């Protein structure tokens, strides 16, 4: 009896809205996985994702991103073109590792004018070089990143949630208008980064170098900030030389072992816990302090306008080291 080849473009009622290419790629993944005699769980383990995610791919409910597809091709022993004819043009444009920019900005799933839906979440990134990454504009959450490079990258408008980011280099990158939530940021370089209008919430920032970073309009809340570090509202042992502090807000934040220098204008400190915080050679104007105790702050060779001075006096701060601006 002649067996009919399954119609890979057939879509059940439940999946009638799923794009044909998503179903096609799912079938291809399942077919190659079975030929290599590995289970969904084993494949998921090698990709550092959940078995449920693999199941969704194979059922055509979701699609892996291009980086994961490259890794899949490697694990399953197939060429990238195997997954879909539409990927032939993509494969031709892929550059060596470290040149993610062109992939991100130019490739599409065979649909003219449509860019890839990048989602780099749930990844385990070790010693990867993503320098110059641009046009991400998608989620980057629940990932483990260690010793990775994102030098000069475009990371604005991102949702970065539940990430562990350790010893990475983001020097010269743009994080403006991003949301960084419930994340651990330790020992990272943020030199000369733009953080304008970025919000850090429930995050721990420790041992980071923010030399020359622009904190204009930044909100740091329910976390920590130390030398520009965050621990569920606290910053500890970070470096922030030459950083720009303009309209920067610290709310319900633990601030420890940090030196603020230079000009602080229109900044806001509310319900913060200060521990070994120093303002050195700083000029504070229009800066609001609403805290039960400011005893953990000391001032060295600082100047303040009358409004800021009165806020500090009301909080029983040690005003030694502050002179009034005339």
Q: Do the domain assignments include residue 86?
A: yes
Q: Which of 162, 96, 178 is nearest to 170 (CA)?
A: 178
Domain count, the chain: 2
Q: Tell whether 283 is covered by a domain.
A: yes
Q: Kindly state whether residues 137 and 199 are assigned to the same domain.
A: yes
Strands 224-225 and 245-246: unpaired
195 and 262 fall within a common domain: yes
pLDDT digits (tens, 9 = 90+) for 31-65: 888 888 888 888 887 777 888 889 998 888 888 87
- What CATH number is given to the structural domain containing 57? 1.10.260.40
pLDDT tens-digit map of 76-133: 878 767 775 444 333 333 333 333 333 333 333 334 444 445 566 777 888 988 888 8
Q: Are residues 48 and 131 in the same domain?
A: no
pTM over 0.75: no
pLDDT for residue 229? 34
Structure-model confidence comparison of residues 72 and 93, the more confident one: 72
Shared domain for 263 and 316, answered yes or no, is yes
CATH number of the domain bearing residue 260: 2.160.20.80
Summarize pLDDT for 4-29 with one digit per residue, the tens.
Answer: 333 333 333 344 444 567 888 888 88
319 and 273 in a single domain? The answer is yes
> Do 125 and 246 fall within a single domain?
yes
Does 5 fall in a domain? Answer: no
In this prediction, residue 242 has a pLDDT band, given cuts at 50, 70 and 90, of confident
| Mean pLDDT, residues 240-265 | 86
Instruction: Kindly state whether residues 124 and 22 are assigned to the same domain.
Output: no
- Is residue 89 located within the same domain as residue 125? no
Please indicate, yes or no, whether residues 89 and 122 belong to a single structural domain of this protein. Answer: no
Please check whether residues 154 and 87 belong to one and the same domain: no
Tell me which of 44, 77, 93 is where a domain ends.
93
Contact between 230 and 254 under an 8 Å Cβ cutoff? The reply is: no
Burial of 191 (0-12, 13-18, 19+ CB in 10 A): buried
Distance CA 244, CA 194 (A): 10
- Give the ranges where the chain is alpha helix by DSSP (H): 20-35, 40-47, 51-58, 66-76, 88-93, 100-106, 306-314
DSSP 230-258: -SSSEEES-B-TT-BEES-EEES-EEEEE
The answer as to whether 110 is a domain residue is: no
Same domain membership, residue 127 and residue 81: no
Q: Which domain holds residue 46?
A: 15-93
Of 74, 138, 49, give the one whose Cα is nearest residue 100. Answer: 138
Instruction: Please name the helix (run of DSSP H) or strand (run of DSSP E) that holds residue 13, with its range, or none.
Output: none
Q: Is residue 159 part of a domain?
A: yes
């Amino acid at each position: 009896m002649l067996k009919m080849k399954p119609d890979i473009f057939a879509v059940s009622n439940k999946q009638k809205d799923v794009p044909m290419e998503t179903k096609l790629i799912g079938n291809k993944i399942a077919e190659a996985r079975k030929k290599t005699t590995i289970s969904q769980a084993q494949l998921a383990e090698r990709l550092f994702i959940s078995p449920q995610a693999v199941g969704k791919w194979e059922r055509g409910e979701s699609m892996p991103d291009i980086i994961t597809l490259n890794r899949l091709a490697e694990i399953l022993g197939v060429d990238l073109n195997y997954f879909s004819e539409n990927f032939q043009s993509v494969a031709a444009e892929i550059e060596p590792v470290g040149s993610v920019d062109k992939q991100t900005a130019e490739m599409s799933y065979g649909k003219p004018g449509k860019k890839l839906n990048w989602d780099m979440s749930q990844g385990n990134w070790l010693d990867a070089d993503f320098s110059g990454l641009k046009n991400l504009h998608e989620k980057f959450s629940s990932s483990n990143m260690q010793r990775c490079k994102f030098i000069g990258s475009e990371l604005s408008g991102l949702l970065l949630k539940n990430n562990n980011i350790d010893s990475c280099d983001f020097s010269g990158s743009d994080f403006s208008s991003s949301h960084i939530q419930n994340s651990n940021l330790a020992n990272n370089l943020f030199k000369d980064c733009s953080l304008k209008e970025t919000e850090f919430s429930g995050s721990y920032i420790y041992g980071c170098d923010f030399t020359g970073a622009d904190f204009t309009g930044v909100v740091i809340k329910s976390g920590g900030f130390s030398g520009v570090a965050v621990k569920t509202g606290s910053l500890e042992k970070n470096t922030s030389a030459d950083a720009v502090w303009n309209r920067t807000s610290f709310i319900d934040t633990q601030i420890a072992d940090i030196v603020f220098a230079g000009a602080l204008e229109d900044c806001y400190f509310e319900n913060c816990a200060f521990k070994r915080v120093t303002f050195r050679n700083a000029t504070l104007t229009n800066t609001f302090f609403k805290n039960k105790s400011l005893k953990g702050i000391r001032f060295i060779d600082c100047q303040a306008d009358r409004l800021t001075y009165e806020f500090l006096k009301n909080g029983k701060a040690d005003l030694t080291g502050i002179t009034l601006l005339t």
